[in-house]
Structure 1
Amino acid sequence: MTGGLDRTKLLAARFRAAQDRPYLATALFSLTVVESRQVPTMGVDRRWRCYVSPDFVDRLPVPQLAAVWIHEVAHLLRDHHGRADQLSDAGRHDHFRVNVAQDCEINDDLLADQLPLPVDRVEPKTFGLPDGLLFEQYLPLLPPSVVGHEGIDCGSGAHGLGRPWETGSSGGVSEVEAGAIRRDTAQAVRAHTRSRGTVPAGWARWAADILEPRVDWRRALTGAVREAAAWASGAVDYTYHRPSRRSSAMRTVVLPSLRQPVPRVAIVVDTSGSMGDAQLAAALAEVSGVLRAVGIGGNRVTVLSCDADVHVVRRVHTVGEVQLAGGGGTDMRVGVSHALKVRPHFVLVLTDGYTPWPDAPLESTRVIAGLIGGNAPQPPSWITTIQIDD
């Protein structure tokens, strides 16, 4: 057993890491050092505290300690604990396996950057796996022989499970501050790439995801349909089918009552030659789930198959009953115009975007465009647009 923590050596290693990889400097100096003899090596918690074993610092040279600093801050920058929280119960039950998968995600980039990680590290080739995957992809690929080992534990800042040596949830870096650190680091990575071009591919991809986040199109589509359905449900009108109860006070006058309609939706499906069957099937499956989620069913859904003309118009109980036809040119204006004949409250158009659109907003009807595939031309600004990945 040695004496206390050699902070001079530890902080010299952090300084070296920041000097050699300046784009990580903000993140590295955001970590608070906490000495602990319980932690096996070094580990981080969700609040950006770095727990350090004095014995571990004593036995590693400064260059390897610098690499470990970068390894630990990478767990936090890549939000490993937040992503681990999203795993299924079966996926996160063994925090050691999760930690190993996360180390595989990080260490392939660090080794490609020629960082001198300790020899007892894990990396994808340790298990015969390819480089460049995310930890969620590595996790199910790890062999059953990967079982708990007390020597690998990067703390709750990695696998998400609180550890005995961690000091609690107060203090440290907040989630808002952590988000700002990630964005600042991502901008530094991008600037470093433009000036020197020496950032590993994994860090470049991470920076792109932070600065240009991909929106979950399923969530966006659900939100757009929910909003349109709520707007339609609020469009009350007068009806004489059920006279107003106030008519009893006016014997010679029949007053109308207010009614709140159940939303009607028309789905215009682009079946032109540029649309793939797999794309259409995936999009229709998602639309079916969205309509069920917002309570639109029965005979309230009309689906139109359209390329440059409308081929099939059918009122369906489920989107699974849809029959698609076409395969020619593309003009969704025809489909939208035909859809208006059923007086829908909103029209959902599924297309690759290579089509002309109506010139002006439709009266009393909202339009949502689900653009399937990348690089699709954008519809007019008055159309709610959701980008649907291939």
Structure 2
Amino acid sequence: MTATVSAAALGLDVDKLFAARLMAARARPYLATALFALHVAESRDVPTMAVDAHWRCYVSPGFVSRTPVEDLAGVWVHEVSHLLRDHHGRSARYAKRHGLTGPAEQLRMNIAADCEINDDVYGDGLVCPEGAVVPADLELPAGELMEDYLGRFRLGQLTEHLAWLDCGSGADGRPRPWDLGPDGAHGLSRQERDAVRFRVAEGIAGRPGNAPEGWRRWAEEAFHPPQPWRELLGAAVRSAASGGGVGQDYSYGRPARRSVSLPGIVLPSLRRRPPRVAVVVDTSGSVSDAELGSALLEVAAIARAVGGRRDLVTVLSCDAAVGTVHPLCKAEGIPLIGGGGTDMREGFTAALRTRPDVIVALTDGQTPWPSAKPPCRTVVGLFPRGTPRWAEKDPGYEPPPGPPAWARVVTIG
């Protein structure tokens, strides 16, 4: 992609600015695609350089004039790092979860995002710009994420000298007066932004060892983004529990309206009742204690997902056979007994005896599955497993079959 400059940028030393960008691309070649995707716009309201979520870079002419090219190269890399690491989206989500508002919290999020970037981005041909904040300045450890830093410091004496800091809405998700907005000129679409991130991640992954640990971690997550599995599991259970036919039965408690057309005959009406849920927990030896603990937390979450009726949730522990069937009183009081092999067919057979509307299986998936689809909705919470090390050198190794197609699958963790 080719960056252009706004027509109003008459006072901006474009040659110096673009020479610095070229220096940045040579020092960090894996970021070149992102650096040249930025559109430059002059702004005298910006303290130094700032970015928005649409990949525009707002530049102060005075800052460019008084800053050495080597320092400008470092600022280029810093600003594009905010966008690649989605600091605007992450900051907005963090602020919403924790109820953070106001300019003080805006500054704090900008400082935390800078600490995530600056701890390992400089050196090896890239100069650290004057005034760049690093975790050590705030007596914080290096190598952590923005969200971790936000929980570790408050504004005070250590941050007084950073009151001027403003990397734009691309760093904290809050609009600025100088932002051109989503409908402004030269902004990248969401698809274009994702394409840039993917190409950068591909460049980092393709040349391992050339990028700092923070960038390698980012590239790995770009290829395999973490799933909000707890929300997905709850949504899957709610969807299954509210599907057609689930929790429905005929009742004479309220006669059907059609009874008026049949004198002397009372017809039952179809009434909806809270759904019954059977939770089958894999307690085989391949499931760790930590995963069993996580399973118990999910049992409590499943009860909330179906309206809080714990009396309608049944828990079964299953390895090669099924242990005791427990009605749910409180999740931490349920003994999970097992430790042998795994056979989810036994678990499903026992679960169906409780006449559930939904079966939820929490398992690592290393098990045979029922050959036929159960007569109720099924959700599988899957503890992820990689390929065993010994199997990497075994050409005859075949991974166990995954959950059947008739189950709704959510990866846990």
Q: TM-score, normalised by structure 1?
A: 0.87
Which of 296, 308, 326 is equivalent to 1:314? 326
State the distance in 2 between where 1:90 and 1:368 align.
36
Q: CA deviation at 1:339?
A: 0.8
Q: Which string of whole-angstrom CA distances, capped at 9 and with x for unpartnered residues, describes residues 229-271 of structure 1?
A: 1115557454556543322332354433323343111011222
Counterpart in the other structure of 2:132: 121
Between the aligned partners of 1:356 and 1:189, the Cα distance in structure 2 is: 37
Give deviations 1:70-126, integer Å, cap 9, x for gaps.
111111111111111112224875222221211111112312554112132112233
Alpha-carbon distance change, 66 to 161 in structure 1, aligned in 2, over 3 angstroms = same
Q: Which residue matches 1:97? A: 108
Is 1:379 the equivalent of 2:403? yes
* Shift in alpha-carbon separation, 1:83–1:311, aligned structure 2, 3 A: same
- Structure 1 residue corresponding to 2:174, chosen from 153, 158, 161: 161
Asked whether the equivalents of residues 39 and 186 of structure 2 are also in contact (C-alpha less than 8 Å), the reply is no
Question: 1:104–1:124: 8 Å Cα contact kept in structure 2?
Answer: yes
SS across alignment from 1:342 = coil
Correspondent of 1:140 among 135, 151, 157: 151
Alpha-carbon distance, 1:347 to partner: 0.8
Q: 2:218 aligns with which of 181, 186, 206?
A: 206
- Is the 1:97–1:146 contact (alpha carbons within 8 Å) kept by the matching residues of 2? no
Give, in whole Å, the separation in 1 of the partners of 2:246 and 2:285: 39
Paired residue for 1:42? 49
Contact 1:353–1:371 under 8 Å retained in 2:
yes
Is the 1:350–1:371 Cα contact (8 Å) retained in structure 2? yes
Measured in 1, the distance between the counterparts of 2:252 and 2:322 equals 35
Give the one of 322, 325, 339 matched to 1:327: 339
2:280–2:348 Cα contact (<8 Å) kept: yes
Q: Which amino acid is the alignment partner of residue 127 of structure 2?
A: P
Question: Partner of 2:306 in structure 1?
Answer: 294
Q: Distance in 2 between matches of 1:97 and 1:155?
A: 13
Q: Does 1:368 align with 2:379?
A: yes
SS across alignment from 1:299: helix
Secondary structure class of the residue paired with 2:18: helix
Task: Report the equivalent of 1:220.
Answer: 232
Which deviates more, 312-321 or 130-139?
Answer: 312-321
Equivalences for residues 68-87 of structure 1 within 5 A: 68-87=75-94
Deviation at 1:299, TM superposition (A): 2.5
Pair 1:355–1:310, CA change in 2 (3 A) = same
Alpha-carbon distance in 1 for matches of 2:293, 2:106: 37
The answer to whether structure 1 residue 15 and structure 2 residue 15 are counterparts is no
Q: 1:25 to 1:282 in 2, by over 3 A?
A: same
Secondary structure of 2:338 counterpart: coil
**Counterpart position of 2:397:** none
Matches within 5 A, 1:256-267: 256-267=268-279
Name the CA distance, whole Å, in 2 between partners of 1:183 and 1:200.
Answer: 22
Deviation at 1:217, TM superposition (A): 0.8
Report the CA distance shift for 1:162/1:6 in structure 2 as closer, same or farther (over 3 A).
same
Decide whether the 8 Å contact of 1:26 with 1:181 is kept in 2. Answer: no
Percent of pairs with identical residues: 48
The residue identity in structure 2 corresponding to 1:228 is A
The answer for unaligned runs of 5 or more in structure 1 is none
Number of aligned residue pairs: give it.
Answer: 385
State the TM-score, normalizing by the size of structure 2: 0.83
1:230 corresponding residue in structure 2:
242
Alignment-derived partner of residue 51 in structure 1: 58
Deviations 1:265-306 (A, max 9, x none): 101122233333332222222332233133151521111122
Looking at structure 2, the residues matched to 192 and 310 of structure 1 have their Cα atoms a distance apart, in angstroms, of: 48
Superposition pairs for residues 322-361 of structure 1, below 5 Å? 322-361=334-373
Q: Quick one: distance in 2 between partners of 1:101 and 1:178?
A: 25
Q: CA deviation at 1:323?
A: 3.3
Question: Partner letter of residue 126 of structure 1?
Answer: D
Which aligned runs of 4 or more in structure 1 are off by greater than 4 angstroms?
Answer: 90-93, 232-242
Provide the residue aligned with 2:70 in structure 1. 63
